[in-house]
Structure 1
């Protein structure tokens, strides 16, 4: 039988705190337990905190910091920024947030969550005399479903994946693709016994027949051991390869680009001296509108009521075609950026060849 229970009595974690010591003092651990630790207290203990610049809102600071932390931008709209971090994680705002962080600071992800998990595991072995698995968990959104759930960003002492490929089902069919993300399942299960406001950052999962470790990592962990001695962390040779096995290789990613990519790609090709002034809305809408008129001196960008117009410089067929094609491209970009947009032909008396009427789509 599997038991899941939160560990109460932990103090507010501060930079430099010895997480294994705090956990060992608060939890009655047994061999074989899986200790699920919230990413936030790992980041706090490791000092992965940043204060926003004076006068800057946490939201603005987080967005700017997320861009600096990103190795790739996946979705970039006025409402959400999703990036790939150096850890290979694809998440909103590079995993940076201000919840449960005192003083208005922002918490970054740990430098190496797998190293953090190994350090905590080694420290618990040293201090409590138990051999456990450790999962560092963080809350992620889901692109195709409403709601968030916790996933494993750091793992030590258990295999993060149960590979069932090559086995057979009850009908004798060979399993070809089944790989169960058990570390993610453990992280999500731990979330069942805690809420963000409960003050329970550590959960113990007991009775799980954890997967054996694979790809033992012998690298030394010195800076990200969350309070454990570097010698202990480096000596934890049975910790396994960690959560990095859960990261899908880029060449296997079927959805490398999200909303906002088209606009960013087009806007990035605009000459810096080509600007369209006076157009409200997302700056990239303005930039892309200018780009659509850059086929030549045949059309120019104008404001047109509540939208953006592309006006031909004359009534010649090439100018009309340029304006029409440009408006079609602009419409695609606006939809990609999250706007409600429609394309309509000019009304009698309008001198813009095509007008794209836009407004921000309502937030869900």
Structure 2
């Protein structure tokens, strides 16, 4: 297998109600990158947040007593803490300068995925309210225009338990099953796989993150070509939920 990972470098700063599909088409044409069957289009959630107007004006937030107390422990702005609480189902744990929560989507991550980078001062970006829907809308529009079959994955940068550093993570998907269940297949020695499941959407998101970066790279959209399992994993109805472990199987959270 040979993967080609291409970052679109001519995507402009995005405004509210901007059509991401049109930006992808225009930039790919300008850069001579043709979208083809089996391509994976990965989009940074920052782009989705801005185009959907999904931003938080921090000065409008009134911090609760709970937020103020947590802010003292984490040394974070009480308004940010309140924004995190507003986007969460529950608090999982408190760190020295972060808070781990379960978001309304079911993701367990730091600060409910709220980010203040790559956005104007005084604003913060929560995770899009429905990343699967956002991905689905873009995928269907591109497929209809180009008459091809592709997948779209919305990415975010998140940390991991027991590991330093952050990686690209899939928070929304359309057109592909995000989880590749390989149970029943054979390994190199002919033994049958019993439990193997591959988080392919996360792996693709991590690959794209190498080009997207975290600072001023300015590459919010990446196209991956040559992902041969695409046909096996093609799925037009399932979203990202297949990657979220049921709480009853979460041995670290009781």
Range into which the TM-score falls when normalised by the shorter chain:
0.7 to 0.9
How far apart, in 2, do the equivalents of 1:73 and 1:240 lie?
31
SS of residue matched to 1:240: coil
- 1 CA distance for matches of 2:110 and 2:171? 14
1:24/1:127 contact within 8 Å kept: no
- Aligned residues of 1:140 and 1:149 also touching (Cα < 8 A): yes
Secondary structure of the 1:37 match is strand
Report the counterpart of residue 149 of structure 1 in structure 2.
167
CA deviation after TM superposition for structure 1 residue 23, in Å: 0.9
Moved more, 110-119 or 189-198: 189-198
Using a 3 Å threshold, how does the CA distance of structure 1 residues 116 and 54 change in structure 2: closer, same or farther? closer
Query: Is 1:188 aligned to residue 206 of structure 2?
Result: yes
Cα distance, 1:118–1:54 mapped onto 2, change above 3 Å: closer
2:68 is matched with: none
Cα separation, 1, equivalents of 2:61 and 2:91: 26
- Partner in structure 2 of residue 38 of structure 1: 44
Distance 1:239 1:55 in 2: 38
2:227 paired residue number: 208
What secondary structure, in the 3-state scheme, does the structure 2 residue paired with 1:244 have? helix
TM-score by length of 1: 0.61
Residue aligned with 1:154, SS = strand
Distance 1:103 1:80, change over 3 A: closer
Between the aligned partners of 2:202 and 2:121, the Cα distance in structure 1 is 31
The offset of 1:69, in angstroms, is 1.3
In the other structure, the counterpart of 2:244 is: 247
C-alpha RMSD over aligned residues: 2.0
Residues of 2 paired with 1:182 and 1:167: CA distance? 17
Deviation at 1:64, TM superposition (A): 1.1
Considering Cα pairs closer than 8 Å and 6+ residues apart, tell me whether 1 or 2 has the greater RCO: 2
Q: Which segment is superposed worse, 97-106 or 136-145?
A: 97-106
Deviations 1:277-307 (A, max 9, x none): xxxxxxxxxxxxxxxxxxxxxxxxxxxxxxx
Question: What's 1:2 paired with?
Answer: 3
Identify if the C-alpha distance between structure 1 residues 55 and 83 changes in structure 2 by more than 3 Å, giving closer, same or farther. Answer: closer
| Rounded Cα–Cα distance in structure 1 between residues aligned with 2:227 and 2:210 | 16
TM-score of the two chains, using structure 2 as the length reference: 0.86
Structure 1 residues 250-329: aligned runs within 5 Å: 250-256=247-253
Q: Number of paired residues? A: 234
Displacement, 1:179? 0.2
In structure 2, list runs of 5 or more residues that go unmatched. 29-33, 63-70
8 Å contact 2:38–2:231 — kept in the other structure? no
CA drift at 1:30:
1.5
Partner residue of 2:67? none
2:191 — aligned with what? 173
Q: Aligned partners of 1:211 and 1:180: how far apart in 2?
A: 16
Runs of 4+ in 1 over 4 A off after TM superposition: 54-58
Partner of 1:230: none
Q: Structure 1 unaligned segments of length 5 or more: list them.
A: 215-237, 258-364
Displacement of 1:129 in angstroms is: 3.5
